[in-house]
Structure 1
Amino acid sequence: MGARSRLAELLSKAPVDARAVEFEDSWWHWGALRSTARGLDALLTEAGLGEGTRVGVVLENRPEHLAVVCSVLATGRCVVTLNPLQPPERLAADIARSGLPVVVASPGTLDDESVLGAVTGTGLGLRLGPDGGLEPAGGTPLLDAETAMGVSIEMLTSGTTGPPKRIRLLDRQFDTALESSGQSPKKGALLRSGVGLVTTPLVHIGGLWSALSGLYAGRRLVLLRRFALEPWVRAVERHRPPAAGLVPAALRTVLDAAVPRERLSSLRVVTCGTTYCPPELADAFFRAYGARVLMTYGATEFAGAVAAWTLPLHKRWWDTKAGSAGRPLPGVEMRVVADDGTEAAPGEVGRLEIRTAQSPDGGDAWVRTSDLARLDEDGFVWIHGRADDAIIRGGFKVQPDQVRRALERHPAVHEAAVAALPDARLGHVPVAAVEPRPGCTPPTAQELTMSCREVLAPYEIPAHILVVDALPRTPSSKVSRVELLDLVRASLAADGAV
């Protein structure tokens, strides 16, 4: 059964009093999800927005937002995710570019004039209350807008296969990803026991995948607004799941807090994705809590994971393969190619290419990623960084050029440069240096941070900003990121931060 049909079945047949999503210590039952889903479908149908309609959702980690996603998918429409973490001006620009006939958002989001103006400029705005109620917020649906038949989800990503773009996940991609991951309903039962914890943003593929795959399987969910240590630990204590998912930064947070082992005693495995997890971090977590950390590797373009560790693989191979991203999942082929396109021998580093039905190009095409990798003789894939410049900060992708442009908005900045500084908790963080404009009073780091907050998401703001007389240069006059990082480290050492 495909994802759309399964969600439609759950929304129509699940008992109204069956628990579905726990949020801030209260349960949303299937009856509440059904009410919101049917309310949305009625409003869209009345507006003439039927199957294939691209429905924008400013997607927050809240149960009513998840109900909207389920409704859109179950009725044959397309979910277009919009990121609530970005500043209002960028959100408004994203909405305006997308040409959406309808956008669903929380009252607080639509209270911003620029966002509401962008929504009503091309379509209908629907205000989604915390109780799941929906009401028009203005605008008229664009009835001749582009449709997306056969597309489940459209989301903006910086991706592993090219520059930032809005990509479409086809129905067959999503269904194939569910099948290859082993997520399936219990035979002969509508719902099943077990609880899944969702701590990453729904607007990113990891969070949305965790939520939808859990519901697809018939499990209850615990939905957190974001990862926070004590609420997460209490959820594990309360529901005692054998498995959970954490990004490396969250693993580090749990270890640094020295959470007592007995509070996490139910955990046997922890899946870990979005960015590279150092093997020493995984080992430290295993020693502390007895839970094996199973790394995954994937991308939005492939509707989720394409390689992973499993528990049997971990027990057999971890001692000799620690640091690997695991093996390709069933139905996934991988190869490594040199710059000239020839296939590399086992152990040689090159560009990773993937062939799978989870690909937007179908199961016969090889897709070249932006990752450098090697495949060993036992079929394990090892990631050796990125061929592009993206900085992965705790699972969030940061484009250095976008941060540079934000810094150079300041009238006293002549030029800025951004680099990735290794960080024990987050993997990498963006750091920057700026060269003042001649004749201007040099800006302070605090001024530049405040300026960045106007146009950047919180995770994009540089962790450290230096103001220097002149940016370090290579002999070819390009900014030297190596020397820039040396300057940052020296500054941190002088401040006692390292």
Structure 2
Amino acid sequence: MTGIRQALRELWSAPDDARMIQQDGRWYSWGEVRALAENIDRGLTGIGACEGSRIGVVLGNRMESIAALVALLSTGRTITTLNPMQPIGRLTADLHQSRPHVVLAPAKLWDSDEFSAVASEIGVDGFALDAGLTRRATRNVDAEDDATASATVAIEMFTSGTTGPPKRIPLTWRQLDAAMSAVHGHVGTSSSTRRPLTGRVALVTLAIVHIGGMWGVLQALTEARPFVLLPRFTVAGWVGAIEEHKPRIASLPPAAMRSLLNADIPGEKLESLRAVTAGTTFVSPDLADEFIGRYDIPVLIVYGATEFSGAVAGWTKPMHEQWWATKRGSVGRAFPGVQLRVVDDRRSVLPRGVTGALEVCSGQTGSGSDEWVHTSDLAHVDDDGFLYIDGRADDAIIRGGFKVQPEVVANALREHSAVLDATVYGKDDDRLGQVPVAVVELVDGTQVVDEAELKEFLRGHLTGYEVPVSIHALESLPRSVSLKVDRRRLLELVAELEASSA
């Protein structure tokens, strides 16, 4: 298969008038994207930022970000992602910590005194990236510089950070190419020989600053497909893109899937879809079955992580037709070139069907295909090779010596007819070490919860030590750009609730 870098270079054979990106109802041509990408390349080359240079990009879902991706990745520069959806304080702290050689950011950010001051403090070169490219900061040669060029790293990307401080992960060209090859092997496709920027229109739903959205863009660019770039997920925007472009497959995270079901979208609006993929976070098999029952569209769950540069296991449509009835709850089988195993605390391999810590061996990992990478996910693999995620080892709540898995408690809460969604976390306790606390989103959207009734319900589904000490209700659970529950914001909201009730 052609590598991602070479595939990006082949875009230059597309005609300038070819439609490439649809954003907010407007099509941007390849000629427009190419012109901006070449302008970015010239600007960076002019200041000596060539192959291997670390380029910080404030990466929003907009055409200018795609032009930057094309310009940087096709020339072997390293992208250091900066999240525009963060508060300005977190964004500038990230910039200060990552210290790229150059920063590309929208003009409105450069107009912020806080952002410009940090760029000046760390002494980086900077450009405003909008319709064109404007120099906004000049490198200070006397400034401390701990940025190191690397021709092997393609993208430095944050994990989602929904359960704690996010970590910046270096993704190498080897990892990305291995991941792309695994995806094509999994779905049975290969590099296309058709004319660039033709064929079915792809749909990028998630924020490209995280691996789910980034992967959607990389796959569309590598396969030279035109694509719709949603600035953010909305039911109307997603359904409108499906109706207009009639894709066969589209991604739909579980929170978005629930929103679609709640909106009672008619099935004929989704008639082009042969499957939806889901996998940014836990996908309840009951939610998947509800979606399948409503629309007769299979839900193909995948499992992966930023550290693996994408998915390493998942379902296919033929697999779903054969196995879903007996394997519901699984996240599918390992992708081609991926090995999975489950180990105990001493890293001894456990038998099939026994739960332990999941380990992955693949060219998609940072250490390559010769080493096993230990994850924080608890899992088991059955006799037919299907992977089941049973929880997270680092999320486990130890209550007086008893282990409570938050997802087990959350699943039990989701079984209650009044609960739309739930999340559970551990709270420090002087006597027991930690105790579970639950936060629910109710079907009627109110914040009035019958805590005693929910606890009584849980006692019929859980052991006593698994029942939360308190249950709060929010109008909606706070979510990150990847539509996972944002743990830090959740704790802030719970603190506000507790303070107001006190």
Please state which band the TM-score falls in when normalised by the shorter chain: 0.7 to 0.9
- Give the TM-score, by structure 1 length: 0.79
Supply the distance in 2 between the matched residues of 1:190 and 1:263 (Cα, whole angstroms): 28
Give the aligned residue type for 1:5: Q
Cα distance, 1:25–1:274 mapped onto 2, change above 3 Å:
same
Cα distance, 1:47–1:31 mapped onto 2, change above 3 Å:
same
Cα distance, 1:242–1:191 mapped onto 2, change above 3 Å:
same
Residues 162 and 369, structure 1, Cα contact 8 Å, conserved in 2: no
User: Any idea what SS the aligned residue of 1:179 has?
Assistant: helix
Per the TM alignment, residue 289 of structure 1 is displaced from its structure 2 partner at its CA by 1.3
Residues 252 and 276, structure 2, Cα contact 8 Å, conserved in 1: yes
Supply the distance in 1 between the matched residues of 2:174 and 2:15 (Cα, whole angstroms): 29
Per the TM alignment, residue 84 of structure 1 is displaced from its structure 2 partner at its CA by 1.0
Partner of 1:370: 376
- Of 304, 311, 319, 1:313 maps to 319
Return 5+ residue gaps in structure 2 as ranges.
397-405, 411-422, 429-433, 444-472, 475-484
Supply the distance in 2 between the matched residues of 1:217 and 1:345 (Cα, whole angstroms): 40
Supply the distance in 2 between the matched residues of 1:55 and 1:93 (Cα, whole angstroms): 16
- Give the TM-score, by structure 2 length: 0.79
Supply the distance in 2 between the matched residues of 1:77 and 1:399 (Cα, whole angstroms): 41
Partner of 2:439: 421
| CA-atom RMSD in angstroms | 3.1
Partner of 1:135: 134
Partner of 2:308: 302
Cα distance, 1:162–1:108 mapped onto 2, change above 3 Å:
closer
- Whether 1:170 and 2:172 are equivalent positions in the alignment is yes
Residues 308 and 328, structure 1, Cα contact 8 Å, conserved in 2: yes
Q: Deviations over 1:431-462 (max 9, x none)?
A: xxxxxxxxxxxxxx99xxxxxxxxxx977422
Per the TM alignment, residue 110 of structure 1 is displaced from its structure 2 partner at its CA by 2.1
Supply the distance in 2 between the matched residues of 1:418 and 1:297 (Cα, whole angstroms): 26
Residues 199 and 225, structure 2, Cα contact 8 Å, conserved in 1: yes
- Whether 1:329 and 2:328 are equivalent positions in the alignment is no
Residue pairs, 1:84-483, within 5 angstroms: 84-122=84-122, 123-129=124-130, 131=131, 133-140=132-139, 145-157=147-159, 164-182=166-184, 184-187=190-193, 189-389=195-395, 419=437, 421=439, 460-462=488-490, 463-465=493-495
Per the TM alignment, residue 5 of structure 1 is displaced from its structure 2 partner at its CA by 1.3
Per the TM alignment, residue 13 of structure 1 is displaced from its structure 2 partner at its CA by 1.6
Per the TM alignment, residue 138 of structure 1 is displaced from its structure 2 partner at its CA by 1.7
Residues 249 and 273, structure 2, Cα contact 8 Å, conserved in 1: yes
Deviates more, 1:147-156 or 1:318-327: 147-156
Supply the distance in 2 between the matched residues of 1:372 and 1:301 (Cα, whole angstroms): 16
Supply the distance in 1 between the matched residues of 2:280 and 2:487 (Cα, whole angstroms): 14
Supply the distance in 2 between the matched residues of 1:75 and 1:6 (Cα, whole angstroms): 12
Per the TM alignment, residue 423 of structure 1 is displaced from its structure 2 partner at its CA by 5.2
Q: Deviations over 1:232-270 (max 9, x none)?
A: 111110001111001000000000000011111111100
Report the identity percentage: 44
Per the TM alignment, residue 39 of structure 1 is displaced from its structure 2 partner at its CA by 0.5
User: Any idea what SS the aligned residue of 1:100 has?
Assistant: coil
Residues 162 and 487, structure 2, Cα contact 8 Å, conserved in 1: no
Give aligned pairs, total: 424
Return 5+ residue gaps in structure 1 as ranges.
405-415, 426-444, 447-456, 470-487, 492-498
Partner of 2:71: 71
Cα distance, 1:331–1:94 mapped onto 2, change above 3 Å:
same
Supply the distance in 1 between the matched residues of 2:327 and 2:304 (Cα, whole angstroms): 19
Per the TM alignment, residue 189 of structure 1 is displaced from its structure 2 partner at its CA by 3.4
Give the aligned residue type for 1:421: V
Supply the distance in 2 between the matched residues of 1:468 and 1:310 (Cα, whole angstroms): 45
Give the aligned residue type for 2:195: A
- Whether 1:27 and 2:27 are equivalent positions in the alignment is yes
